[in-house]
Amino acid sequence: MRITTHIPDALARDAKIMAENEKKSVSSIIAEALSRYITENRKKRLGKKVLEIAGKVRVSPEVHKELERGRRDSDDRA
């Protein structure tokens, strides 16, 4: 899929240099970075959900469902 975006010149230069050094396309460098960003945000949200659920007196069975859902989502992106 093609997406057009604007990034600061310095960041674009760094992405180009990294792509050249790693013998990859700038698109693949940006896709990898975005994938990591999305995965980290999902992990943070999952962690907050787990802490909210675990903060109850009894640990709800939902904890295991949420953890499994997070693992599946993470594996789908890998």
pTM greater than 0.85: no
CB 36 within 8 A of CB 53: no
Domains of the chain, residue spans: 9-77
**For 7-56, what is each residue's pLDDT tens digit?**
999 999 999 999 999 999 999 999 999 999 999 999 888 888 887 777 66
DSSP strand E in 1-78: where? none
Q: How far apart are CA 68 and CA 57, in angstroms?
A: 21
Which residue reads 């698109």 in tokens? 27
Tell me what pLDDT residue 11 has.
96
Spatial contact of 38 and 49, defined as CB atoms under 8 Å apart:
no
